[in-house]
Structure formats: C-alpha cells, structure tokens
Amino acid sequence: MRIAAEGRRSVAVAVMAALGGGLLSPLLALAGAAFAAALLWFYRDPERKPPGDPSLWVSPADGKVVEILEAEHPYVGKAVKIGVFMSPLDVHVNRVPASGSVRYLQYVPGRKLMAFNEKASEENERFYVGLETGEGPLLLVQIAGFLARRIVSEVRKGDALQRGERYGMIRLGSKVDVYLPASVRPAVVVGQKVKAGETVIGVVNR
C-alpha cells in the first residue's frame, strides 16, 4: 500500500512506538498497532489511472458531489463550480483534473464550518490553486472543515502539472471545489460518488 508522503513520518513513528510498547506490555503493543493501522488507512494513497482521452477531466478528490452551480471568481471569471465532499473515510490525496501550469495561488484563513454547509466555500479556511490549461483557466479550492485541521499543497507558481497528478491533500477530509472553464461541461450529478484522478468530472466541448 502506497502511503502519502505527508504521512510517512507519522506512520513510522507510530510503528516504532508500537514496537517499543511491545517490550513493556502486550496491551500497549496492541493499542500501538491499532493506532499505526489507523494512520496507514488515513494516509493511504492508491495509484489512479486517468482515462486515455485528455478531453475527459477527472475529479480532484474522492468523495461525493454535493453541488453543481454557477459561480464566479476573479481568476476564472464566471464558471461552473462542482463541490466534492470528502468524508474522514475517503482517500485524502487531491489530484489535478487537467494538465496545465500553475498561475495563481492564494491561502485564505477562515472558519471551521461543516464542509457541507453552503457557506463553507466562502467562509472556511481554504487554499486556491489556479492553472492555465489548453481550455482556459481552471481553479481548485481545498477547503478545511470541522474536523480537517491542515491543508497541504506543495505546488508553486510555474509548476507544470499533469492530469491525474497529486498536488496536495486535506487531513481528515473536508471539501474540494473545482471551477470549470466555459469550454468544459460537467459530467457528474449531485449525489454521485467520485474518485480522484479516475472519475470523469468534466468533458471538453467539441
């Protein structure tokens, strides 16, 4: 099982603690092993393979589509926003829907409303990543929720990212919004379960 880079140190420490606890007490060893297993599950990072056709944009997150609506942001202008809610049981690694270059980054501190609250996208702590793609600007928003306590993103302006590539994670789930350019139509419906890097979330208009 592949482990997300952000969690490898925590997993290693938990495994060492479990081994050390085993020298003192079987119960400590059992508790330590259970905690290490929980961390392994939390930081799991399965390989994903996007569809071969580059006109098929993929979901940025595992979870459930909770909203599809018209929205607006200075980086993209008017766009269709798709919100994907990530539960604590979902894979937390986020992936890029389409290939492009990073042109916009912004961190916004905020509240810890439940991620499915309609105000979460505008009031919660969040991190914006804007890419320039062959179809126009694409905006991704990682949104912290009630349980999520850290947004992780290692990208920098100028980075060239490929469709399906990992670009960050949200610890303990929460929500990811994706703003599609006008040339890309949504290919999901509210309530649909999606997988990051595999499920087609948008299709380029021909």
Q: What is the mean pLDDT of residues 165-191?
A: 91
What pLDDT is recorded for position 8? 61
Q: Over pLDDT 70: what percentage of the chain?
A: 75
Catalytic residue among 59, 99, 121, 174: 174
First to last CA, the chain: 39
Residue 116: which region, alpha, beta or left (left: phi > 0; alpha: psi -120 to 50)? alpha
pTM of the model: 0.82
Higher pLDDT, 39 or 141: 141
What pLDDT is recorded for position 110? 72
Would you kindly state where each structural domain of the chain is located, as residue ranges?
5-42, 56-204
Give me the CATH code for the 56-204 domain, please. 2.70.70.10
Burial tier of 199 (Cβ tally within 10 Å: 0-12, 13-18, 19+): buried
Find, among 49, 113, 58, 45, the residue nearest to 84 by Cα.
58
- Clarify whether 25 is annotated catalytic: no
Q: What digits encode the pLDDT tens for the residues 61-115?
A: 999 999 999 999 999 999 999 999 988 888 989 999 999 999 999 999 876 666 5
Burial tier of 7 (Cβ tally within 10 Å: 0-12, 13-18, 19+): buried
